[in-house]
């Protein structure tokens, strides 16, 4: 069973890795855009946005491995953990072979779908193939990462992720500086994926040596169990891919390749903000599985309320900065030619991400308890609604319509489904849940929001350093308001930490 100390350590190391994964793209994105150019960078984004759909062939295996290995590990059933891990590896190998075949087909039709210049056909097709192979390798080796998550070794996962970000970025800088293009970038992505996978596998077998017993044997009964759990998770993942990756494809297909860059800038920023919360929320699923395995229902309710508060308190300050000062940030980061368009898109996308963050703990608990089947219908509804609205609104108001399609669809589903469902699942009164988890976090951020608004109106940042100094100057407003609103919880925590060990 994970202790509170382990939980906070996992969160801290996840945040450190997340910080590195935010800083690297922050410096790498302008460098990549300026070296590839607007059109070729747009092609690179379209390749990534298209090939990423191969991740859907995971078929929910990662979630299944986390769920079943965490439960088996908590109850000491290591033989079950071995059966799950070895079966999942063989399933992923078969998926990797399928990805290679589908990638060959995609590489052939890709230039025609997006009206690529004939002179770029060979480059684009090789890029698609290499990028897809990188995804296949990541999926095959990813089982070991799921096992490390299941046994709460997020510190090791974060360490590997940090090294991966640095190595990947270093290779990109060297390749672009020496005049290489998107084919070489895709080849480096594949190389890094293999190296990271080998390192992660070695760490997994070191931390969970019982897995060496019979590792690599396919168990049909276990495969059926994994498939039953994973099939629902895969449908949810499919819907999520439509939500988070189809926007760039819609923009490229309807508004042109060069337009993708503007949308991608805003999308990458909003995705980086989500990563801050995912570093916290990724710990919730194995925790929920472990708590359910030993019947600690009251702790599940506490995890729901406190996890939701924590997620919102972490994300809302970032959302305020991006929504209010996003255009100024993009002006300083990428250049004024991108600021206005990307800034407006960012404001729209943030609306959806705030509500998604409010429900991220609920989602983790539902997966951890194996109660994710009802999510399928709502996830598909949101995905279909998002895609339909994005296409329709893109014809009416252009690139901003794509963002509004995402925001409207997400808002409807996040408000109508999640609060009621998780309240029945835990259980807890839905209004008590919203009152105790959502409202205090939203109230705590109001002073910081007003401070950001005043700075944006009266203090024009002339550099990135000045911008971040202004944001830092407003953060005490958030800290003070949170301390006042959560003074009782803070007091209890301090008393527990300061209490003598022999008491």
pLDDT in tens, 448-503: 999 999 999 998 888 989 999 999 999 999 889 988 888 777 666 555 555 544 44
How distant is the alpha carbon of residue 493 from its chain centre? 30
Residue 96: exposed, middle, or buried by beta-carbon count in 10 A (0-12, 13-18, 19+)? buried
Query: Of 242, 257, 245, whose CA–CA distance to 182 is shortest?
Result: 257
Helix 375-397 with 220-255: angle, nearest 10 deg: 10
Instruction: Quote the CA–CA distance of 97 and 103 in Å, as a whole number.
Output: 10
Instruction: Quote the CA–CA distance of 217 and 18 in Å, as a whole number.
Output: 35
pLDDT in tens, 408-440: 998 888 888 888 888 888 888 888 888 988 999
Ordered per-residue pLDDT tens for the chain, 503 residues:
454 555 556 666 666 666 676 677 777 878 888 888 877 888 888 888 788 778 878 777 888 888 888 888 878 888 888 888 888 888 888 999 999 899 999 988 888 887 787 888 888 899 999 999 999 999 888 888 888 888 878 788 888 888 888 899 999 999 999 988 889 999 999 999 999 999 998 998 888 888 876 656 777 888 888 887 777 777 777 777 666 767 878 888 888 777 888 888 888 888 777 777 776 666 777 777 777 766 677 888 888 888 899 889 888 999 999 999 999 999 998 888 888 899 999 999 998 889 888 888 888 888 878 787 788 888 888 888 888 999 999 999 999 999 999 899 988 888 888 888 888 888 888 888 889 889 999 999 999 999 999 999 998 888 989 999 999 999 999 889 988 888 777 666 555 555 544 44
* Structure tokens given for 171: 């290779």
pLDDT at 490: 67
DSSP string covering 272-330? HHHHHHHHHHTTHHHHHHHHHHTT-HHHHHHHHHHHHHHHHHHHHHHHHHHHHHHHHHH
Query: Of 383, 399, 307, whose CA–CA distance to 42 is shortest?
Result: 399
pTM for the model: 0.67
Query: Of 13, 14, 11, 28, whose CA–CA distance to 268 is shortest?
Result: 28
Torsion over CA: 74, 79, 81, 84 (sign): negative
């Amino acid at each position: 069973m994970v202790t509170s100390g382990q939980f906070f350590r996992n969160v801290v190391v996840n945040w450190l890795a997340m910080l590195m994964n935010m800083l690297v793209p922050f410096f790498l994105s302008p460098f990549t855009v300026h070296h590839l150019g607007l059109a070729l960078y747009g092609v690179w984004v379209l390749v990534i946005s298209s090939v990423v759909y191969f991740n859907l062939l995971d078929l929910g295996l990662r979630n299944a491995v986390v769920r079943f290995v965490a439960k088996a590990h908590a109850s000491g059933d290591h033989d079950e953990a071995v059966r799950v891990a070895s079966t999942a590896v063989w399933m992923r190998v078969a998926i990797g072979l399928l990805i290679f075949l589908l990638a060959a087909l995609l590489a052939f039709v890709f230039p025609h779908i997006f009206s690529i210049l004939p002179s770029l056909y060979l480059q684009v097709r090789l890029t698609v193939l290499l990028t897809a192979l990188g995804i296949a390798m990541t999926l095959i080796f990813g089982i070991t990462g799921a096992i490390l998550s299941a046994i709460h070794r997020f510190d090791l996962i974060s360490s590997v992720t940090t090294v991966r970000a640095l190595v990947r970025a270093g290779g990109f800088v060297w390749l672009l500086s020496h005049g290489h293009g998107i084919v070489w970038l895709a080849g480096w992505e594949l190389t890094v994926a293999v190296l990271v996978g080998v390192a992660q596998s070695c760490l997994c077998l070191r931390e969970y040596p019982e897995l060496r017993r019979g590792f690599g044997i396919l168990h049909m009964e276990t495969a059926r169990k994994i498939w039953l759990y994973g099939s629902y998770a895969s449908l949810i993942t499919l819907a999520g891919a439509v939500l988070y990756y189809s926007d760039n494809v819609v923009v490229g297909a309807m508004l042109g390749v060069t337009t993708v860059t503007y949308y991608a800038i805003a999308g990458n920023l909003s995705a980086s903000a989500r990563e801050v919360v995912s570093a916290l929320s990724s710990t919730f699923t194995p925790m929920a599985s472990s708590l359910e395995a030993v019947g600690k229902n009251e702790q599940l309710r506490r995890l729901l309320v406190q996890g939701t508060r924590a997620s919102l308190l972490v994300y809302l300050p970032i959302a305020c900065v991006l929504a209010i000062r996003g255009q100024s940030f993009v002006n300083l980061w990428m250049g004024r030619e991108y600021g206005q368009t990307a800034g407006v898109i960012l404001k729209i996308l943030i609306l959806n991400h705030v509500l998604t963050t409010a429900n991220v703990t609920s989602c983790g608990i539902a997966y951890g308890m194996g109660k994710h089947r009802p999510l399928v219908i709502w996830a598909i509804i949101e995905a279909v609604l998002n895609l339909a609205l994005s296409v329709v609104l893109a014809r009416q108001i252009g690139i901003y319509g794509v963002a509004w399609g995402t925001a409207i669809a997400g808002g409807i589903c996040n408000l109508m489904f999640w609060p009621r469902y998780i309240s029945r699942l835990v259980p807890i009164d839905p209004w008590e849940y919203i009152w105790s988890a959502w409202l205090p976090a939203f109230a705590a951020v109001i002073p910081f929001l007003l401070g950001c608004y005043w700075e944006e109106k009266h203090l024009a940042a002339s550099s990135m350093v000045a911008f971040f100094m202004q944001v830092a100057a407003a953060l005490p407003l958030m800290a003070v308001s949170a301390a006042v609103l959560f003074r009782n919880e803070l007091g209890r925590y301090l008393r527990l930490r300061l209490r003598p060990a022999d008491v």
